[in-house]
Chain A
Amino acid sequence: MEQSSHIKVKDLNVYYGQNHVLKNINIEIPNNQITAIIGPSGCGKTTLLKCFNRLIESVDGVRVTGEVLVGGENIYDPKAEVTHIRKKMGLLSQRPFPLPMSIYDNIAYGPKIHGERNKKELDRIVEHYLKEASLWEEVKDRLKTPAGSLSIGQQQRLCLARGLAVEPDIILGDEPTSALDPQSSRHIEQKFIELKEKYSIVFVTHILRQAKRIADYLIFIHMGEIIECGPTKEILENPKEKKTQDYVLGIIS
């Protein structure tokens, strides 16, 4: 890769109490591509994702060693500013968590806490990112209504727009479609494909077919270790490791 990678992980180890959940992770996430983290449940997929924006720290009794470089900056450096790191990444969680406020305020929340006060500018941001997430047409007449009144699929797109509104470089998704109906899932997948022009996208999925449909790059994790990573086609068609073959064939799940 010529350009420097947005996310680079060096010797990352994560422990939950005595449990060693991620072991010596070394990986580079390619820019402007969709990377899928796959693997059987409980293998540490979500843990790895949460390491990228330090949300891992809200877990009870967790210990992280090693480095995660985001744009060349080690985010686990004691001097690193966590709010600044998280601003570089938008997050889509397993089920959408709209903030307890109006649709408008959900989008404006991020820009506001980062210092945007101009009402006109906020209006522009809200409209722009709702359009970016293909939600504008559905909500433009009810921006002041509670975000909780939207359907789950719409809420997930709202969360996407909300994440984009802080102008991140990276989008993280933690099984972002697992709570959605098939149509809303397709909507999010389609969005990811459009958005990779501008953002690097990393998402966790337990649906191999989904990874196949949209991911350019795969990371296969098993029991806390990266077994194999590489371009999707290569991994799925010619897995080098026995464990990857087994997973692709559905023997381990």
Chain B
Amino acid sequence: MDKRKIEESIFKVLMIISAITIIVSLGLILGSILYKGLPSLSWEMISQTPKGGYYLGKEGGILNAIVGSVLLAFGATILAAIISFPIVIFINVYNRQNRWLANIIRLTFDILWGIPSIVYGAFGFTIMIFFGIKTSLLAGIVIVSLVVLPVIARAIDEVIKMIPQGLFDASYALGATRLETSLKVIARQASPGILTALLIAFGRAIGDAAAVLFTAGYTDYIPTSIFQSVATLPLAIFFQLGTPFPEVQARGYASALILTLVILVISIVARLLTRKYKKFKI
């Protein structure tokens, strides 16, 4: 057999192994949380806050953490989107010619992306101590939004960068301003990409434990204002798995299952809601 054919078949095998690896990994992860968590998953767990002694195996649920995580992740994703959209529009529409500045901004985002979230948490904690602020939902949202900001900005940036100049020109030629072009044409064309960016960011925000550890705190109650501490699912999982009681550990797996389901449900709903925009993409 000649050399090129051998190369071809070796690479084919590699591709198959890679594909199997990721599928099996996903299967194992889902399988283990289903196997360990499903028996403990009950209506009580998702409809009640922890009662006294919950972490010792007594009654209650983790509604506090579900509500907290969803609020926090939504807040952080929206805040990060509000901050990143203008920057992305700036480098791709207003300042399209100045590659130099755009590349510096992109590099900044890439570096921010690489900073571990515990560093953001510690950074937030330092600032909070300085100003004498207590752990709260608001502080959590602000810090987590910093964690996901580069994720959203770079993901949207990559999509908008691919839009051909001709589409910008088509809108400009009709007398549209750059803002009108950005909001009515470019944002629409990029809408599937923007949605994906928001979903990735949401998934990262809701799953982040390190940044919220110092900033959002933890509580057994559902917050009634953004200035109160708030519980989050990753920390709830951590606390439950950290107890020596098997039944509480099982609830930890159930909590992991809930976290996964929340992300799944939100992804599916978001895709359905934005389907009508996708079809107009050219």
The reply to whether A60 and B173 form a contact with Cβ atoms under 8 Å apart is no
Contact across chains for B172 and A113 when beta carbons are under 8 A apart: no
Give Cα A99–Cα B167 distance, bound, in whole angstroms: 7
Known A-B contacts A146-B282, A148-B281; the reply to A97 vs B167 at CB < 8 A is: yes
- CB neighbours of B185 from chain A (8 A): 99-100
Interface check B174, CB cutoff 8 A? yes
Q: Which residues of A contact B96 (CB under 8 A)?
A: 58
Chain B residue total in the interface (Cβ 8 A) = 26
Q: Which one of A58, A102, A109, A148 contacts B174 once the chains associate, using CB atoms below 8 Å?
A: A109
B24 CB–A CB distance under 8 Å: no
Q: Which residues of A contact B174 (CB under 8 A)?
A: 86-87, 109-110, 113, 162-163, 166
Q: Which residue on A lies nearest to B190, using beta carbons?
A: A100
The prevalent SS among residues of B at the interface is helix
A61 with B97, Cβ < 8 A, contacts A86-B173, A86-B175 known: yes
Residues of A within 8 A of B188 (CB): 99-101
| Interface presence of A83 (CB below 8 A) | yes
Most buried by A among B173, B189, B282: B173
Chain B residue with minimal CB distance to A85?
A: B175
Residues on A with beta carbons closer than 8 Å to the beta carbon of B281: 100, 146, 148
In chain B, residues 168-191, which have Cβ atoms closer than 8 Å to a Cβ of chain A?
Answer: 168-177, 180, 184-185, 188-189
Q: Is B165 an interface residue (CB 8 A)?
A: yes
A226 CB, nearest partner CB in chain B, Å: 24
Give the chain A neighbours of B166 by CB distance below 8 A.
93-95, 97
Chain B's nearest CB lies how many Å from the CB of A16?
12
Residues of chain B contacted by A95 (CB below 8 angstroms): 166
Q: Does A33 contact B (CB under 8 A)?
A: no
The CA of A148 and the CA of B189, in the complex, are separated in Å by 11
B173 near A90 (CB under 8 angstroms)? yes
Cα(A18)–Cα(B159), bound, Å: 32
Most interface-central of B171, B172, B280 (chain A CB within 10 A): B280
In the complex, A55 has a CB within 8 A of chain B: yes
Q: Determine whether B164 belongs to the interface, using a CB cutoff of 8 Å to chain A.
A: yes
B176: which of A55, A101, A113, A163 is its contact (CB, 8 Å)? A113
The reply to whether the CB of A89 lies closer than 8 angstroms to some CB of chain B is yes
Please tell me if B5 contacts chain A, counting CB pairs below 8 Å: no
Shortest distance from the beta carbon of B172 to any chain A beta carbon, whole Å: 6
Please report the C-alpha to C-alpha distance between residue A42 and residue B243 in the assembled complex, in whole angstroms: 74
Contact B280 A102 (CB under 8 A): yes
Q: Which chain B positions have C-beta within 8 A of A204?
A: none
Residue of chain B at shortest CB distance from A53: B173
- Docked pose: A237 CA to B109 CA in angstroms: 61
In this complex, which of A60, A91, A100 has the most chain B Cβ atoms within 10 angstroms of its Cβ? A100
- Chain B, residues 253-282, CB within 8 Å of chain A (1/0): the string is 000000000000000000000000001111
- Is residue A147 contacting chain B, with contact meaning CB distance below 8 A? yes
Please tell me which one of the listed residues A91, A109, A148 contacts residue B169 in the complex, with CB atoms under 8 A apart.
A91
Considering residues A59, A83, A84, A162, which has the most beta carbons from chain B within 10 angstroms of its beta carbon? A83
A114 within 8 A of B: yes
The complex places the Cα of A86 from the Cα of B180 at a distance, in Å, of 14
- A59: chain B residues within 8 A (beta carbon): 97
Give the interface centre of A58, A60, A87 by most chain B CB atoms within 10 Å.
Answer: A58
Report which of B164, B165, B171 forms a contact with A99, defined as CB distance below 8 A: B171
Residues of A within 8 A of B168 (CB): 58
- Which chain B positions have C-beta within 8 A of A148? 280-282
Option from A98, A102, A114, A159 in Cβ contact (under 8 Å) with B175: A114
Residues of the A chain whose Cβ atoms lie less than 8 Å from the Cβ of B173: 53, 55, 86, 89-91, 163, 172
Instruction: Tell me, in angstroms, the Cα distance from A85 to B172 when the chains sit together.
Output: 10
Chain A window 207-219, contacts with chain B (Cβ cutoff 8 Å), 1 for yes, 0 for no: 0000000000000
The answer for the CA separation of A146 and B185 in the assembled complex, in Å, is 13
Residues of A whose CB lies within 8 Å of any CB of B are 53, 55, 58-61, 83-87, 89-91, 93-95, 97-102, 109-110, 113-114, 146-148, 159, 162-163, 166, 172
Given A100-B189, A148-B282, A172-B173: 19 more A-B contacts, CB < 8 Å: A53-B173, A58-B96, A58-B165, A58-B169, A58-B172, A60-B97, A85-B175, A90-B173, A99-B167, A99-B170, A99-B188, A100-B281, A113-B177, A146-B279, A146-B280, A146-B281, A146-B282, A163-B174, A166-B175
25 residue pairs A–B, Cβ–Cβ below 8 Å? A55-B172, A59-B97, A60-B99, A61-B97, A83-B175, A86-B173, A87-B174, A87-B175, A93-B169, A97-B282, A99-B167, A100-B188, A100-B189, A101-B188, A109-B171, A109-B174, A110-B175, A110-B176, A113-B176, A113-B180, A113-B184, A148-B280, A163-B173, A166-B174, A172-B173
Task: List chain B positions with a Cβ less than 8 A from chain A.
Answer: 96-97, 99, 164-177, 180, 184-185, 188-189, 279-282
